A and B are shown apart, each in its own frame.
Chain A
Amino acid sequence: MLERLFGLERKRRRALDQCPQGPLRDYLAVAPPAPATELEAVEIVSLDLETTGLDPHRDHILSMGWVVVRGLRVRLGSAERHMLRIADPVPAEAAALHGITDDRAACGEALEVVLPRLLQVLAGRVLLAHYARLELRFLDAACRRCYGGPFLARSIDTLILAHRVLERRNHTIQTGDLRLFALSRRFGLPTYKAHDALYDALATAELFLALAADIAPRPPRPLKWFLAGGRA
């Protein structure tokens, strides 16, 4: 674990050396919080992406929503939601799931505009997502495409944390139990009707607060207890 983490830091420095000037370089220039940092002192960005599919090389990001958690409080004032413009038509199943139609997709912002904003927000912070692998892979693919460098981040994955908590409680876990909606409900958190990147990011953040309180009700609770690992 230690090796891996050190590995992330090493990778970041190497990537920084090779990265051309631009948003990605600025992002990589800021060191993420050390794993020993108390969770309260860590700034976390809860992120959710809506995509046209699961393959980061073929599929596109339709929308992004994020909200910052600081001092273990979700700061709604920091919430952002971005619709992205994509050239290809939106596949029918994705459109049905996210309610994003071609029209709306066509009116969105360009990835080249949104990505720098996200990188700016993420700088020096920890990424939080439900099933973070997906977000990490799509962002990595996007960064490589746009800036020719890898996306590197410390991340927290509520799916993994929830799995751990439920296992510890000796719950038998069935299919669907680890879905964000089901978990929110299980932890007595508000469930949002809209299937929307920002509400999912918000739900993820709230779920994280609940899971963190379950795993370690009081300090000390170093960040490393919650991290998902360097790169997917």
Chain B
Amino acid sequence: MEVELEEIRDFFARRPPFEALPAEWLDRLPEWVEIRYLRRGSPFPPEGGEPRLFVVRTGAVALFDRHGHLSEKLGEGDLYAGQCVDLAVERAGGGEAIEDVLLYEIPCQRIRWLRERSEAFGRHFTADLRERLKQALGLVQGSDEGALPYLWVALREVLHRPPVSVDTGASIQEAARRMTTERVSSVLVVHGGRLVGLVTDSDLRRRCVAEGVPVDRPVREIMTPEPHTIGPEATLMEALALMTRLRVHHLPVVEEDGRLLGMFSTSDVARMQSAHPAYLVSDIAKARDVAELAWICERLPRLQAQLVAASASARQVGEVISCITDALTVRLLALAEQALGPAPVEYVWVVGGSQSRREQSVHSDQDNALILADAYEASAHGAYFEALARRVSDGLQACGFPYCPGDAMATNPQWRQPLSVWRDYFRRWIETPEPKALMLSCIFFDLRPVHGTTALFEALQQDVLARSPGNSIFLAHMVANALTHRPPLGFFRHFVLIHDGEHDDTLDLKHRGTVPVVDMARIYALAHGLPVVGTVERLRAAAERGALSREMAENLEDAFEFIANLRLRHQAAQIRRGVPPDNYVRPAELSELERRHLKDAFAVIQTLQETLARRYQVHALT
């Protein structure tokens, strides 16, 4: 029967993540609640019972890290989800009630049930937890922002190689050979494409060698039949929980229709815990050909979506994706060198645009170039580097990074030149700025070396940074160029919506939001000879130099991240709906608060644009 416990319900209704629940689930929430009283000094979380989510109703709880230092204090309304999300991370140091505490407890099973039914709740839930998880992981990694909420990543994204399997009829020896050549610690036994068993190293030891079973016996005699499996959408946490409960180290990942996808093992977790996107990167570094790289990259779009779902910021996503693209580029170059032989002269592979600024997303074009040593002779070495560039560029394309529509790639002979030519290019762009040069500058003034003789790049960069700061004609043209993209804010601080027939009543968050900030940050970098390339890093460095007021730098950084996050989430939602992602957001899609923040963000951009316009007297240039 339904019992109204409105005051309990209201307590939850005011608090994230529960506030995101639809009324119907919120009404049901109280009936799952259990209330416990902890006297001051009692250990927290209290022992016994099934895993639960704890919400402090009254009193306070202290949590400690593994060294026994206070890591967090929970007060009224705070929740502790350590038992619901993971077994290892939050258990580290335990906790203690530091006041008498009345605790609300909800079984994790119920929380999962809610997360499955309410997407908003799930998102808030993970957002709330991410912060604490970051702290917990920060202790392991010792870095402030390095940790990523990888525990919410779906298994589908974690699988790093196709499944290694043998048929039921295969001999034990064949299975062992297969495991050796593939360098894996377990092999799946299949029959007609369906999973029937699992053989691990320890099975070979215990059930074959120790028992003296001849190695020519069929593998099914020593396999673990009908092993537990898990679906590809399950999160890493869930897999870990299941493995701990079952006391196994391997879980075959199987699609709902029974299709075998791969194997998840505890070593995958260890690999992921070592560093953030490093697990993908190390897979990439081990890949043997482009096909394998392409296979690895297939999960990038979903990885990005998962990161977004786990409330990663645009900045974090950008860093992860750029890091992966870097690794990919390095691996493709290594593969190309294997095939073509060592490079005849020194070179450096540089990247530009969003990859260079580490603001890339999985849909970004590739922008790259080759700087060759001056010993380069087109007649003798031209063919080698052309082939090298072709291989890498095609490889990136195969991995989902489309060719640059402006042909700003190393495959274009114009962007595959010795250092001296590059110096001339930049000298010309800076000394005789013409609009077309400035269009290109967006890509080439953000260069970053990825592989090769970095000194070549550094020589070029020093040259550019020595030239650009004094040249105010060049800078004024850069400002004029940056001002072609203005925030869509009208005279009365209203949104100016697009009316082009195609994207009616929307705001372009990229060209009128993030691009102006990127452009202005670049201007500050060029005007003050700052060698950094990331937009936020540039703004910070400019503020450091006193070129930009600290207040403006901070506001602009916030504005940039806010708009970038909004855009990322908009695109993630589109991908979920099966619509191709774009930059056009309807104000109606946003909450009142978001709209207000967005206006503030646009206003900050506008202020700096006007300041630069006035300072460089751009009215005469446009």
Contact = CB atoms under 8 A, between A and B. Distances in A.
A5 interface: no
B363 interface: no
Contacts of A81: 3-4
B3 A209 contact: no
B35 A198 contact: no
B32 A76 contact: yes
Given A76-B32, A210-B100, A217 B39 contact: yes
Interface residues of A, number: 28
B35 A73 contact: yes
A80 B37 CA distance: 21
B100 A76 contact: no
> Is chain A's interface secondary structure helix, strand, loop, or mixed overall?
mixed
B544 to A, nearest CB: 49
B589 interface: no
A157 interface: no
Contacts of B49: 71
Contacts of A214: 39
A188 B5 contact: no
B380 interface: no
Nearest to B37: A209
Contact of B7 (A189, A193, A205, A209): A193
Interface residues of B, number: 28
Interface in B68-104: 99-100, 102
Contacts of B36: 72-74, 209
Contacts of A212: 37
Interface string A72-88: 11111101110000000
Nearest to B42: A217
Interface string B12-40: 00000000000000000011111111110
A77 B3 CA distance: 9
B37 A72 contact: yes
A189 B39 contact: no
A7 B3 CA distance: 37
A54 interface: no
Nearest to B41: A217
B208 interface: no
B5 to A, nearest CB: 6
Contacts of A71: 48-49
A6 interface: no
A213 interface: yes
Contacts of A217: 39, 42
Contacts of A206: 35, 37, 102
A189 B32 contact: no
B3 A190 contact: no
Contacts of B39: 213-214, 217
A79 B100 contact: no
B383 to A, nearest CB: 76
A187 to B, nearest CB: 7
Contacts of A210: 37, 100, 102
A80 B35 contact: no
Contacts of A209: 35-37, 102
A199 B38 CA distance: 21
Nearest to B52: A73
A214 B30 CA distance: 27
B57 interface: yes
B99 to A, nearest CB: 8
Given A188-B100, A190-B58, A206-B102, A76 B7 contact: no
Contacts of B58: 188-190
Given A209-B35, A210-B102, 8 more contacts: A71-B49, A73-B35, A77-B31, A79-B5, A188-B59, A192-B7, A206-B102, A210-B100
* The 6 nearest A-B residue pairs measured at CB: A209-B37, A74-B35, A213-B39, A77-B31, A73-B34, A76-B33
